[in-house]
């Protein structure tokens, strides 16, 4: 069984005339989301008569970096770090390609290009001398028409050591400018599992900004005896939807689906749907735990759900592959520059869309499964500074629109400084349950005749129920 994190191979126009770094994890700071060793989005490659070892170092030009030690060389071959490919700008004719490096042997910068017809080529950028201290390498290269995907490669073919960091690839002439008033990028903020700490500490910060999230819930955990101190209750799930947050599936019990039998994983992805619909969710989406799935599991999920979110840390580009949407995990070791890089890349694509993934929250963030409320606020402020549009996944895909309750109830959510709170949160909403909870309407359906009358009745019932609410924030 394999875990699939598949990128999209599409060409879209870059959205500025002088574009920022497009190289995923250009500074080698991010670790693999699936727990594998080494930096995210980078693997190693050697061929021919070259033998080499590779190190993800803590002594890069800024922060971490990548090292290649060539121990044997001959008539052919080279060694290099091999990054994931990223979208080329269909309008740019030249790129400024570079990185920071130091080496005790000559090295070469190359640009790998993949074209629309599937062919590939390697474009020489510049040959570089050995340097003892960190030095910035940069050169302009013309690229042929039809380029769709790019990679920056810094190779070494002689016995010696090469360190690289802060890789860049900036398109220049021919790019289009952003239309005034148009959102440069879209961001979806998602929470996995249904942790009470995220509900208590992070969701209120989204509510304050008027932003909505997508919550992937392990459907057997709410209301389960012994779980209330860690996970939200079903009443809180319904409250999320009343506040126009989206609720979707994170399977029944959160296993690695690739370790199960067909009958077991079928149950894990199918059985949550009645529970979700019982809570009032349309059950449009699913996120497999650990981002793990196989082609067979993917095909089954595609029949049950309108979309699926992975843990591949890349920008989504239209037309979206809705059953393998890229998701980027942010944790307590993530820095603002990691999100800054994602936002910059998304802004270079017409329709660039980032899906962020969060889990637990705590004031001290004891492990990388957590973020602190202040750190989360910093991420939100950075998104705000970039002028990105924030939408739920289902909302961005046009699956539904949502209108909040006329008078918003505030739940008693416990002590925000504790994780988990000393006592289970006991939410009590006295609102009526409409046919389409939370004001969420299926996109594209007629709003006349009987549906309009039903909506009016529902609105009056909600107003009556809202006057009966007597809840407060403590």
Burial pattern 434-473, b for ≥16 Cβ within 10 A else e, equals bebbbbbbeeeeeeeeeeeeebeebeeebeebbeebeeee
**Does the structure show a pLDDT above 60 at 16?**
no
Residue 168 Cα to chain centre, angstroms: 21
Helix (H) or strand (E) holding 460: helix 450-467
- Residue closest to 370 by CA, chosen among 193, 163, 215, 182: 193
Q: How far apart, in Å, are the Cα atoms of 257 and each of 36, 262, 290?
A: 18, 9, 9
Domains of the chain: 42-171 (2.60.120.260), 186-454 (3.20.20.370)
Question: Among 59-68, 83-92, 446-455, whose mean pLDDT is lowest?
Answer: 446-455
Hey, which of 13-17, 147-151, 189-193 has the most confident mean pLDDT?
189-193
Q: What is the pLDDT of residue 403?
A: 65
Q: What is the pLDDT of residue 160?
A: 97
Per-residue pLDDT tens over the stretch 32-53: 765 567 898 899 999 999 999 9
**Does the structure show a pLDDT above 80 at 77?**
yes
**Does the structure show a pLDDT above 50 at 2?**
no
Q: 15 with 184: CB under 8 angstroms? A: yes
Q: d(Cα 413, Cα 393) in Å, to the nearest integer?
A: 25
Q: What is the pLDDT of residue 33?
A: 60
Confidence of residue 425 (pLDDT cuts 50, 70, 90): very low
Per-residue pLDDT tens over the stretch 147-162: 888 899 999 999 999 9
The mean per-residue pLDDT over the stretch 248-264 comes to 97
In DSSP terms, 64 is beta-bridged to none
In the structure encoding, which two tokens stand for residue 59, read together? Answer: 């002594």
Hey, which of 96-110, 142-156, 394-408 has the most confident mean pLDDT?
96-110
Q: What is the pLDDT of residue 158?
A: 95
Question: Among 234-248, 318-332, 367-381, 423-437, whose mean pLDDT is lowest?
Answer: 423-437
pTM for this predicted structure: 0.55
**Does the structure show a pLDDT above 80 at 398?**
yes
Q: 403 with 463: CB under 8 angstroms? A: no
| Cβ count within 10 A of residue 84 | 18
| Cβ count within 10 A of residue 343 | 23
Q: What is the pLDDT of residue 175?
A: 39
Per the prediction, the chain carries an average pLDDT of 79
The mean per-residue pLDDT over the stretch 231-252 comes to 95
Per-residue pLDDT tens over the stretch 316-373: 988 888 999 999 999 888 888 889 888 988 888 777 899 999 999 998 877 778 899 9
Angle made by CA atoms 414, 419, 423, in degrees to the nearest 5: 45
Between these two residues, 77 and 30, which has the higher pLDDT value? 77
Q: What is the pLDDT of residue 261?
A: 97
Q: What is the pLDDT of residue 314?
A: 87
**Does the structure show a pLDDT above 70 at 6?**
no
Q: How far apart, in Å, are the Cα atoms of 331 and each of 6, 32, 191, 356?
A: 22, 12, 12, 10
Q: d(Cα 466, Cα 474) in Å, to the nearest integer?
A: 19
Per-residue pLDDT tens over the stretch 282-306: 999 999 999 999 999 999 999 999 9
Burial pattern 34-50, b for ≥16 Cβ within 10 A else e, equals eeeebbbbbebebeeeb
Helix (H) or strand (E) holding 450: helix 450-467
Give percent of the chain above pLDDT 70. 76
- Residue closest to 157 by CA, chosen among 123, 127, 121, 120: 127
Per-residue pLDDT tens over the stretch 204-229: 999 999 999 999 999 999 999 999 88
Angle made by CA atoms 411, 417, 421, in degrees to the nearest 5: 65
Q: 161 with 114: CB under 8 angstroms? A: no
Q: What is the pLDDT of residue 25?
A: 86
Give percent of the chain above pLDDT 90. 54
Q: How far apart, in Å, are the Cα atoms of 171 and each of 17, 141, 397?
A: 8, 10, 29
Q: What is the pLDDT of residue 368?
A: 73
């Amino acid at each position: 069984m394999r875990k699939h994190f598949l990128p999209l191979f599409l060409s879209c126009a870059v959205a500025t005339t002088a574009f920022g770094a497009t190289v995923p994890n250009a500074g080698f700071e991010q670790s693999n989301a699936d727990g594998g060793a080494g930096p995210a989005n980078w693997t190693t490659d050697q061929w021919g008569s070259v033998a080499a070892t590779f190190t993800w170092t803590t002594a890069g030009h800024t922060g971490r970096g990548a090292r290649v030690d060539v121990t044997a060389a001959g008539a052919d071959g080279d060694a290099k770090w091999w990054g994931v490919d990223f979208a080329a700008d269909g309008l740019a004719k030249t790129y400024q390609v570079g990185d920071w490096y130091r080496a005790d042997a000559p090295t070469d910068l190359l640009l790998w290009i993949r074209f629309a017809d599937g062919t590939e080529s390697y474009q020489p950028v510049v040959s570089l001398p050995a340097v003892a201290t960190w030095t910035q390498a940069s050169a302009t290269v013309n690229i042929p028409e039809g380029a769709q995907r790019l990679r920056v490669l810094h190779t070494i073919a002689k016995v010696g050591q090469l360190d690289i960091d802060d890789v860049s690839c900036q398109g220049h002439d021919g790019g289009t400018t952003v239309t005034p008033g148009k959102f440069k990028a879209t961001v979806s903020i998602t929470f996995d599992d249904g942790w009470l700490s995220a509900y208590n500490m992070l969701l209120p910060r989204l509510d304050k900004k008027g932003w909505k999230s997508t919550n992937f819930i392990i459907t057997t955990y709410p209301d389960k005896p012994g779980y209330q101190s860690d996970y939200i209750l079903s009443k809180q799930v319904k409250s999320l939807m009343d506040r126009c947050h989206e609720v979707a599936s994170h399977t029944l019990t959160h296993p690695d689906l690739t370790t199960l039998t067909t009958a077991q994983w079928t149950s894990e992805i199918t059985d949550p749907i009645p529970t979700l619909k019982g809570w009032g969710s349309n059950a449009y989406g699913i996120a497999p735990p650990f981002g793990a799935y196989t082609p067979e599991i993917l095909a089954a999920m595609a029949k049950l759900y309108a979309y699926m979110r992975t843990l591949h840390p890349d920008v989504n580009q239209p037309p979206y592959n809705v059953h393998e949407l890229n998701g980027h995990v942010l944790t307590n070791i993530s820095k603002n520059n990691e999100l800054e890089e994602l936002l910059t890349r998304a802004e270079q694509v017409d329709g660039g869309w980032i899906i962020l993934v969060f889990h637990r929250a705590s004031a001290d963030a004891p492990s990388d499964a957590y973020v602190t409320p202040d750190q989360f606020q910093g991420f939100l402020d950075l998104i705000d500074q970039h002028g990105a549009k924030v939408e739920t996944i289902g909302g961005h895909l046009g699956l539904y629109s949502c209108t909040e309750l006329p008078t918003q109830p505030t739940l008693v959510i416990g002590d925000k400084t504790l994780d988990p709170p000393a006592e289970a949160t006991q939410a009590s909403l006295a609102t009526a349950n409409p046919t389409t909870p939370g004001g969420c309407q299926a996109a594209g359906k007629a709003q006349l005749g009987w549906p309009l009358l039903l909506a009016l009745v529902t609105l009056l019932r909600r107003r009556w129920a809202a006057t009966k609410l007597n809840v407060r924030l403590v």
